[in-house]
Amino acid sequence: MLGTVAVAFVAGALSGAAARPLVLTRAVPAGEPPREKCPSCATALLSLRRPGPLLLGRCPTCQHRLRPTPAVPELLAGTAFAAIAATGVTGFTAAAHYWLAACGVALVLIDIAVQRLPNILTLPACAGTILLLAGAWLTGENGSLPRALTAAAALGVAYLVLALAGMGMGDAKLAPAAGALLGWHSWPAVLTGTFTGFLLGAVAAITLAVTGKAHRKQQIAFGPFLLTGALSVSLWLA
């Protein structure tokens, strides 16, 4: 088991490294094009000859600080992959968890930076999770694909209503992935995972307000809590 967890951590770290270009280019406010140049000196950032922006988190010309912070994507993805491996889940069900975690690392870092979840990551996260669960269903793994699809649609609609009320539209696009993963297990899992995400978000919001780092009406990135709630509850039941 320890060896499997170690291998998973390394695989996760590599996944986090692969997510770096997406975080670097897509961590921009909504409506702005992907970042290709340093906002301070206009140096091209994605160059195989000059890997500094990706590896060191700073522009090689002017030393302007860039996201992601060094080692953060690798450690975050490595830890997530190791946690998945530690549960002992296997097959396509495990692959669905790894896929959502891999997409989720970039989504979390972008959401924290600029409070948005770009389509280039939310749509593959949903499609990949559902396709892998379909593989699990076809190979006879323990779970229900019809329930997963129904839960994905239900949670997507629920978050769409919340988006119309002021919540981020990116959360509505990511919610089907969480719904599918939770619905694969049971309807109580959907309710528990969803509640866990909102509970974590509420605790974070209260903590930020109490410490003076955010005011009560300030919008916080909800993507990290949506994903954490779904993955943690799903892994608990896997």
Q: Flag whether pLDDT at 120 surpasses 50.
A: yes
The residue with greater pLDDT, 129 or 164, is: 129
CA torsion, points 124, 129, 132, 134, in degrees to nearest 10? -110
The residue with greater pLDDT, 51 or 41, is: 41
Give 169's contacts (C-beta < 8 A, 6+ positions apart). 163
CA torsion, points 82, 84, 88, 91, in degrees to nearest 10? -120
- Phi/psi region, residue 183 (left: phi>0; alpha: psi -120 to 50; beta: rest), is alpha
Q: What mean pLDDT is predicted for residues 125-140?
A: 97
The predicted model scores a pTM of 0.91
pLDDT digits (tens, 9 = 90+) for 57-98: 777 778 778 778 888 999 999 999 999 999 999 999 999 999
Angle between helix 223-237 and 169-183 (nearest 10): 0
Query: Which of the four pLDDT bands, split at 50, 70 and 90, describes residue 137?
Result: very high
pLDDT digits (tens, 9 = 90+) for 170-221: 999 999 999 999 999 999 999 999 999 999 999 988 888 888 776 655 678 8
In DSSP terms, which residues pair with 50 in a beta bridge? 47
Q: Flag whether pLDDT at 47 surpasses 70.
A: no
* Mean model confidence pLDDT for the chain: 90
Q: CA-CA distance, 148 to 193, in Å (whole number)?
A: 13
Q: CA-CA distance, 147 to 180, in Å (whole number)?
A: 8
Q: What phi and psi, each to the nearest 5 degrees, are found at residue 65?
A: -75, 135
Q: Kindly tell me the burial class for residue 167, based on how many C-beta atoms sit within 10 Å of its own C-beta (0-12, 13-18, 19 or more).
A: middle
Other CB atoms within a 10 A radius of the CB of residue 199 amount to 12
With a pLDDT cut of 70, the percent of the chain lying above it is 93
Length in residues, the chain: 238
Say how many CA atoms lie within 13 Å of 160 toward its Cβ. Answer: 8
Query: Which of the four pLDDT bands, split at 50, 70 and 90, describes residue 48?
Result: very low
